[in-house]
């Protein structure tokens, strides 16, 4: 499903070059729940941003379902993100002026293949699934961190994306809420055969992943099935 | 941009205004409203002054068309025949002659130089509303002799000392008092003040009116001569039509419409007004544009991370740009509505309480076209001010925006 070939990302800060990704080669299959782990600065988030079309690699190639994403125009990348990818951010990244319901429905509203009735039903279903239906008219600031992260997950999966990317989604949550979020990911993965790529540095998260890729200094140092 | 994209852009704009900083939105609307008011107030006031002057010139000086002596002549001659000719023309309500003579008024110890205007009181009623402006006593009868009506500034105020007067007067003449008029040709006569009027038009208010019958006694030349004839058009007939008709019918003296006279005498003043209006308009537009530019720039800078997130979840940059565009449109429309309310309220207030000066009185003269044009200009300026920062920030790459 995802093929990464010789991926490199170099940040230039004045005369200093920082090699964030250094020749990554990786394949990710459909329905996999992949964990990308590693120490801080190992390149986990950078890799996720490359895969999620949030940033451009310096060199190398990423192919998703046969599409070389390096050849896409800016607009095509946006549409690719809208129709095929979902994101869960570490700090939830909800739009503060929109209610829970509006946050979840926003990207669904933009899809040309969804009528208002269809996305209305999808949003209601997903909010019920994550236990936030009763709080759908609340603003993000009226929710706890765990609740906000659940809304963020609902927003990411409402369009039934091919791949769900999660960048340390439990970093700001306590253990109970973290477990709730991971359980939700596991459920989505099992029920919907959803491909999930998640960045984490918590050791106990390993139990949830099918496969763990460890990075160090921008290189893959291990790739193991659990 | 499809309907769905515009709908999402509008939703984002509306929610940002509803749930964002309310004080910032209200302040912006107030500023736009004040700029709109400023844009139309000064031109409206100048238009009001222009309208007021035009109306007063029509009412107390010219009528709609002025017939004055040919070049080189002192008077309009053959008066009876000329008046008959003009009054017989279609579209003419009434033509009435004016004969003006310089004179010296004496009342108690006061002496005052004035113009005495001889009119035909009954005909004058068709041309001028002077008879409705009597503040004391009554208007002239058709064949009154030995009686005059005088303007309020000429009559004066007994409570003001002579040295404190803004304009020389007779120091407090009342109806029924006797004043002496010396025409300077040896004809000196005592007149009874029949009435005192106030029109608000300084040239009329500084004059003394008597009847043509009386003036014939003071100056026999006035019997079949006039300084000028004022012609009033019937409703529905244009000044130009009357002018052309007079010329066509062989009225030999000089024929000018009010517009002709105002263009000559007020042309420079009107040009000055137009320049001031333009400066005021440009300043208002600049202020509105800069304010909205700053407001939207601050909004976009504060929302860079949010813009990055929206792009990350698949919201196109055009949608983001239009969401800020819609915010500006909403703020501009609300500001313009506020400005319209203020302007209409001011116009209503000034209709009841016009700006009065010794020379003229003016209201705020606003036409629907002025309001529509200024609204459109301000709206367009607001769009430019809003879209420029929105365009810039919406093109920022996701990583840079999200790191903000």
Confidence category of residue A28, pLDDT binned at 50, 70, 90: very high
pLDDT at B376 over 80: yes
Angle at B318 between CA B313 and CA B323, to 5 degrees: 85
Task: Please report the pLDDT score of residue B286 as a whole number.
Answer: 87
User: Does A139 score more than 90 pLDDT?
Assistant: yes
Contact B81, B224 (CB under 8 A): no
- pLDDT, average across residues B204-208: 93
Average the pLDDT over A71-88 and give the result.
93
CB of B306 within 8 Å of any CB in chain A?
A: yes
Judge: B8–A109 Cβ closer than 8 Å, yes or no.
yes
8 Å CB contact of A54 and B398: yes
Share of chain B above pLDDT 70, in %: 99
DSSP strand pairing (B254-257 vs B65-68): antiparallel
Give the mean pLDDT of A165-180: 88
Cβ-nearest to A107 among B19, B20, B314:
B314
The per-residue pLDDT for B311 is 92
How confident is the prediction for chain A on average, in pLDDT?
Answer: 91
Q: How many angstroms separate the CA atoms of B230 and B361, rounded?
A: 23
Residues belonging to chain A with any Cβ–Cβ distance to chain B shorter than 8 Å: 49, 52, 54-55, 74-75, 78-79, 81-83, 85, 87, 89, 93, 95-98, 102, 106-107, 109-112, 139, 155-156
**b/e B233-266 (16+ beta carbons within 10 angstroms → b):** beeebebebbbebbeeeebebbbbbbebbbeeeb
- The DSSP letter of residue B163 is G
Q: Name residue, tokens 């002549």.
A: B73
Provide mean pLDDT across the span A41-57: 93
Distances (CA, A) of A89 to A43, A162, B177, B321: 16, 17, 96, 23
What's the pLDDT band for B310 if we cut at 50, 70, 90? very high
Question: Any idea which residue has 């402006």 for tokens?
Answer: B133
Q: Cβ separation of A78 and B315 shorter than 8 Å?
A: yes
**Tens digit of pLDDT for each residue in B49-63?**
888 888 888 899 889
Report the gap between the CA of A143 and the closest CA in chain B (Å): 16
Is B72 within 8 Å of chain A by CB?
A: no
Gap between the Cα atoms of A30 and B261, Å rounded: 89
Q: Is A136 helix (H, G, I), strand (E, B) or coil?
A: coil
- State mean pLDDT over A56-66: 94
Handedness of CA A161, A165, A170, A171 (dihedral sign): negative
Q: What is the pLDDT of residues B110-157, one digit of tens each?
A: 999 999 999 999 999 999 999 999 999 999 999 899 999 999 999 998
> Nearest 5 degrees, angle CA B333-CA B337-CA B338?
115
**Among chain A residues, CA nearest to B5:** A110
Q: What is the pLDDT of residue B195?
A: 96
- Cα–Cα distances (Å) from B297 to A190, B120, B291, B292, B310, in that order, read 46, 70, 10, 8, 18
The 10s digit of each residue's pLDDT in B231-278 is 999 999 999 999 998 888 877 778 999 888 888 777 777 778 778 888
Element (H, E) at B241: helix B239-248
pLDDT for B61: 86
- Give the closest residue to A2 by CA, choosing from A67, A54, A59, A87: A67
Instruction: Give A75's contacts in chain B (Cβ within 8 Å).
Output: 316
pLDDT of residue A99: 95
Phi-psi region of A53 (alpha: psi -120 to 50; beta: other; left: phi over 0): left
B309 → closest Cβ in A93, A109, A110? A93
Indicate whether A36 pLDDT > 90: yes
Q: What is the pLDDT of residue B39?
A: 84
Structure tokens given for B59: 């009412």
- CATH value at residue A36: 3.40.50.300
CA-to-CA distance for B9 and A219, rounded, in angstroms?
Answer: 41
- The pLDDT mean for chain B works out to 89
Q: How distant is the alpha carbon of residue B312 from its chain centre? A: 58
Are A184 and A150 in contact by the 8 Å Cβ rule? The answer is: yes
**Other residues' Cβ atoms within 10 Å of the Cβ of residue A219:** 16
Q: What are the residue boundaries of the structural domains of chain B, listed by start?
A: 3-57+265-403, 74-252
For residue B362, the cross-strand partners are: B355
Residue B45: its pLDDT value, please?
87
C-alpha closest to that of B45 among B347, B369, B286, B314: B347
3-state secondary structure (DSSP) of residue A190 = helix
pLDDT at residue B54, as a whole number: 84
Please give the residue range of the domain that contains residue A88.
2-225
Q: Which of B190, B100, B111 is nearest to B156 (CA)?
A: B111
> Is residue A226 pLDDT above 90, yes or no?
no
* pTM for this predicted structure: 0.77
Model pLDDT, residue B92:
93
Which of B4, B314, B316 comes nearest A112 by C-beta? B4
| Count: domains in chain A | 1
């Amino acid at each position: 499903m995802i093929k990464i070939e010789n991926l490199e990302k170099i940040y230039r800060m004045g005369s200093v070059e920082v090699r964030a990704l250094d020749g990554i080669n990786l394949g990710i299959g459909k329905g996999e729940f992949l964990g990308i782990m590693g120490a801080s600065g190992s390149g986990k988030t950078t890799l996720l941003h490359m895969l999620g079309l949030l940033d451009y690699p310096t060199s190398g190639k990423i192919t998703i379902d046969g599409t070389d994403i390096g050849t896409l125009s800016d607009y095509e990348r946006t549409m690719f993100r809208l129709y095929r990818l979902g994101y869960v951010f570490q700090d939830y990244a909800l739009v503060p002026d929109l209610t829970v319901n509006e946050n979840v429905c926003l990207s669904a509203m933009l899809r040309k293949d969804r009528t208002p009735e269809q996305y209305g039903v999808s949003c209601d279903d997903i909010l019920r699934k994550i236990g936030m239906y009763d709080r759908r008219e609340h603003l993000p600031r009226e929710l706890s961190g765990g609740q906000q992260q659940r809304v963020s997950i609902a927003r990411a999966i409402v369009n039934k994306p091919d791949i769900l990317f999660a960048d340390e989604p439990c970093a700001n949550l306590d253990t109970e809420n973290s477990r709730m979020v991971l359980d939700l990911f596991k459920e989505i993965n099992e029920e919907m055969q959803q491909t999930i790529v998640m960045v984490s540095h918590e050791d106990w998260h390993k139990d949830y992943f099918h496969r763990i890729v460890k990075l160090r200094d921008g290189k893959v140092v291990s790739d193991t099935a659990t | 941009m499809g309907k769905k994209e515009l709908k999402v852009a509008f939703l984002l704009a509306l929610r940002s205004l509803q749930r964002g900083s309310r004080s910032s939105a209200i302040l912006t609307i107030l500023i736009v409203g004040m700029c709109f008011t400023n844009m139309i107030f000064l031109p409206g006031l100048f238009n009001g002054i222009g309208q007021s002057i035009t109306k007063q010139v029509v009412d107390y000086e010219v009528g709609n068309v002025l017939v004055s002596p040919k070049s080189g002549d002192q008077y309009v001659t053959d008066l009876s025949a000329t008046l008959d000719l003009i009054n017989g023309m279609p579209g003419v309500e009434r033509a009435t002659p004016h004969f003006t003579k310089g004179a010296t008024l004496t009342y108690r110890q006061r002496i005052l130089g004035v113009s005495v205007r001889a009119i035909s009181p009954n005909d004058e009623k068709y041309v001028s509303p002077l008879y409705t402006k009597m503040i004391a006593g009554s208007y002239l009868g058709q064949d009154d002799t030995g009686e005059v009506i005088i303007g309020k500034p000429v009559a004066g105020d007994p409570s003001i000392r002579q040295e404190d007067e803004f304009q020389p007067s007779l120091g407090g003449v009342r109806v029924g008092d006797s004043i002496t008029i010396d025409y300077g040709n040896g004809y000196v006569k005592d007149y009874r003040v029949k009435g005192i009027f106030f029109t608000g038009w300084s040239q009329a208010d500084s004059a003394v009116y008597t009847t043509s019958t009386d003036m014939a006694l003071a100056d026999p030349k006035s019997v079949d001569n006039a300084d000028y004839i004022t012609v009033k058009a019937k409703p529905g007939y244009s000044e130009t039509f009357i002018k052309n008709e007079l010329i066509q019918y062989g009225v030999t003296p000089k024929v000018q419409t009010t517009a002709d006279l105002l263009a000559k005498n007020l042309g420079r003043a009107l040009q000055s007004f137009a320049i001031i209006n333009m400066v005021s308009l440009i300043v208002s537009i600049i202020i509105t544009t800069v304010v909205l530019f700053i407001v939207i720039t601050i909004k976009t800078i504060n929302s860079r991370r949010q813009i990055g997130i929206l792009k990350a979840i698949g919201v196109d940059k055009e949608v983001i740009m239009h969401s800020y565009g819609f915010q500006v449109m909403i703020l501009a429309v609300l500001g313009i509505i506020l400005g319209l309310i203020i302007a209409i309220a001011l116009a209503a207030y000034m209709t009841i309480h016009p700006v009065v000066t010794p020379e003229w009185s003016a209201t705020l003269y606003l036409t629907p076209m002025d309001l529509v044009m200024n609204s459109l200009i301000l709206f367009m300026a607001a769009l430019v001010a809003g879209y420029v920062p929105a365009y810039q920030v919406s093109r920022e790459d996701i990583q840079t925006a999200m790191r903000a």
